[in-house]
Structure formats: C-alpha cells, structure tokens
Amino acid sequence: MQDTWTTHLAEQALDQRHRGLWRQRRILDPDRALIDFAGNDYLGLARDTRLAEAQAEGARRFGAGARASHLVSGHLEVHEALEAGLADLTGRPRALLFSTGYMANLGTLQALCDDRTAVFQDRLNHASLLDGAALAKARSRRFHHRDLGDLERLLRRSPPEARKLVVSDGVFSMDGDLADVPGLAQTCATHGAWLMIDDAHGLGVLGALGDGSVGRVHGMDRVPVLVGTLGKALGSAGAFVAGSQALIEHLIQFARPYIYTTAQPPGVAAATLKALELLDTEPERRRRLDDLIARFRREAATLGLPLADSPTPIQPLVLGDSARMMHWAGRLRERGLLVGAIREPTVPRGQARLRITLSAAHDDDDLDTLLQALADLQREDACHGEAVTP
Ligand SMILES: *Cc1c(COP(=O)(O)O)cnc(C)c1O
C-alpha cells in the first residue's frame, strides 16, 4: 500500500508534467563545444584561470572551508578585505558578505521588516525578494512593473505610521530592463520610505567602474539598501549588502540567514577579490560586452525577431507560447547553442521566452552562429504559419 506521502509526491509530479512545466537539469560538459548564451557570466570571468588560481591560493592559505559562521570563528581576513573592496566599489561606508544572493535578500528583508512593515515590490522582482518579505511575515504589495504612478497610489493608501520599504531589482533578471532608480528614490523621499535595490545583474556590467546600476552615482540618500551578487558578472559566488554603518550592524545582529550559516569558503572570497581587481584593470571587457549587445540588437531587429526593450546583456526573445519556445530552445541546442528556456511561473503565463545572455567571452563567430540559427528558426516558423493559414 502506498503511504500518503508517496501518493502526494506522485500526484504533484503528474500535475507538473501535465501542465508542461516539468523542470530538468542537464549536465553541462565544460569540454563539449556548446556555446553558452544562457549563463550570467557577463564579463567572462567565471572561467578565467586567474580567478581559479586566486581561489586555489586562498584555499591553501586559509583552508577549503571557513570552519564556522562569521560570528563564531569563520570571519577571516580575506572576507574582511572583500567587504572593504565591495564598499569601495559601491561608494558606501560598509558592506556585508553573504553566502548567496538568495540569502542576502532573505536576510536583509527578514532583519528590516516585521508584520507591521509595508513592503512595496515591483511585480517582476526576483523570487528571493518576495520570499524575504514572507520570512519577515511582512505583507508585500506589488506594483505594476516600472510603474511609479502605481507605486505612488499604493504608498498613499498605506497607513502613515507604517515603516515603508520599496524594493526593486536594478536590472530585471528575465527582461533585462532597468529600474528607474532616481524616480523610485524621489517617490520614496515623498513618502518617507526606504529604497532597497537588488543589483544582481547590474553589478560589474553597468556604471563607469562596473559599479552597477546604482553604484556610486546613486548614493545612500537615494538607495540606503543596496544588494549585489558575486556569482554573475564577477564570476565567483556569494553576495553582499552595502550601506551605512548602522544598516550593516543591524544585519549582523538580526539577519538570521547571515548569523546561522557557515562563512563563505575563503578561496571563493579570494577569487572575488581577484575579480574586483580585473574589473578595475580590464575595462575593455565592459566595452566588448557593449559592442556585442549593440550588434545583437541591430541584427535581431533586422531579422524581425521579438526583441525586448533591454540595454543590458540580458536579451530575451519573448515567443509567448511555451511549447513554441521549448521547440526553439531544442533546435538551438541541436546546433550547439545553449539559451535559457524560461516559462511560468518564473515569468507570467503567455510570456515564455528564450533568455539569451551575452558575455565578453563570446567571439564574433559565436554571435554569427546564434543569429544564423535564429534567422533559420524564424523562417521555419513563417513557412509553417503560411502552410496553416488559408
Ligand atoms: C541571481 C539573483 C539572485 C540570487 O543570487 P544567488 O547568488 O544566485 O543566490 C538574487 N536576485 C536577483 C535579481 C538575481 O538575479
């Protein structure tokens, strides 16, 4: 006889399959010649051997693991140096290192909010931001994507005595478009709210110094709570929160996902320090990326592909129907091209998309191959459309 748990799991699996939403992992063989247009390694640092060397050296010097949480005995010199480097990059007095971006968002929202806090989130914010507010038992009101008028309306309706926190991605991870940081900051100022920006996809890519969509241009008076992640453009792993002395001390005291976890492996922190150095000494990586983005957009527009309005390395092609999108992703894979195949619930239903990401590591031939394959798929679709239309 099946127990209730086994039955429950089988039912859930069947439902997920029936809805066409079954998710699968694939083992990516680093030596097989797939061209990766799916990752977030925007500057091509993840496989730079200098990061690997720094990581190995960090591990030799400090150990493979940190051995304890930051507050017990796991906070090492290399973590402290990295925090100083991140504070400097973002123009804030202090930064606090977390093991992942997911945990940074959980910890920050949990430590700042409680059931009396009014949290306002862009509808397309990353899942970890919603989960963080839920962990704090704070209610998230969601405003229409990039719609300051809608945010204003929600703020006006919230109780004047409530502490208010407005939360947005800096660069939206599935759309590649940017938050209007000055506009959000202005609205926050009017209502006495704080602004928290998660710049996971902006850091390293945008800004004169690779300091991101917030960085040094928008100081703490506008964006008191800044989150950045280190597993994307910086090519390693982890995340940080940057802000005032008081904010960082508050997180050290109260952020449970900071307190109750082992500190990041020191080699990883050493690799990130090397990435910060390369951000500074090799600005040509950002220029190369900008050139690739411009070229992709120009040629995709000529082909009539459904480009989104994105100035960043995230260049989604919204195909709408998830079966059509999966077909395109499969055909691209057959041709040695890896792209993100994104559907609900990650994006709203009917907005399934290929999430194509560009990297300074791509060469011109890589982009040619991609554009050619997309042109062929576009033509096949058009022929197919003609065949069924009377
Ligand atoms: C990737 C991402 C995160 C999570 O960061 P990890 O370090 O991968 O856990 C958080 N926020 C946004 C917007 C992201 O894209």
pLDDT digits (tens, 9 = 90+) for 277-290: 999 999 999 999 99
Ligand 1 in reach of 200 Cβ (< 6 A): yes
Q: Is 1 a member of any domain?
A: no
Whole-number average pLDDT of the chain? 95
H helices present in the chain, as ranges: 4-18, 49-62, 77-90, 101-112, 127-135, 148-157, 181-191, 245-254, 256-259, 266-281, 284-303, 322-334, 364-388
Q: Are 163 and 187 in a shared domain?
A: yes
User: HSE-up of 174 (CA within 13 Å, CB side)?
Assistant: 19
Element (H, E) at 229: strand 225-229
Q: Is the pLDDT of residue 322 over 60?
A: yes
pLDDT given at position 24: 86
Domain boundary among 222, 256, 281: 281
Q: Are 83 and 224 in a shared domain?
A: yes
CA of 4 to the centre of ligand 1 (A): 35
Mean pLDDT of 34-56: 97
CA of 50 to the centre of ligand 1 (A): 24
Q: Is 217 a member of any domain?
A: yes
Q: Are 122 and 249 in a shared domain?
A: yes
Q: Are 89 and 193 in a shared domain?
A: yes
Q: Are 259 and 302 in a shared domain?
A: no
pLDDT given at position 21: 82
pLDDT given at position 388: 41
Domain boundary among 228, 261, 281: 281
* Residue of 100, 102, 205 to mutate, ligand 1, most atoms within 8 A of C-beta: 102
Q: Is 19 a member of any domain?
A: no
Ligand 1 in reach of 90 Cβ (< 6 A): no
Q: Is 18 a member of any domain?
A: no
Ligand 1 in reach of 211 Cβ (< 6 A): no
Amino acid at site 80? E
CA of 118 to the centre of ligand 1 (A): 23
pLDDT given at position 387: 45
Ligand 1 in reach of 169 Cβ (< 6 A): yes
pLDDT given at position 20: 80
Q: 346 lies in which domain range?
A: 25-40+283-383
Ligand 1 in reach of 140 Cβ (< 6 A): no
Ligand 1 in reach of 201 Cβ (< 6 A): yes
> Tokens at residue 383, please?
């022929």
- Domain count of the fold of the chain: 2
Q: Are 255 and 113 in a shared domain?
A: yes
Per-residue pLDDT tens digits for 169-181: 999 999 999 999 9
Q: pTM higher than 0.75, yes or no?
A: yes
Q: Is 36 a member of any domain?
A: yes
Ligand 1 in reach of 199 Cβ (< 6 A): no
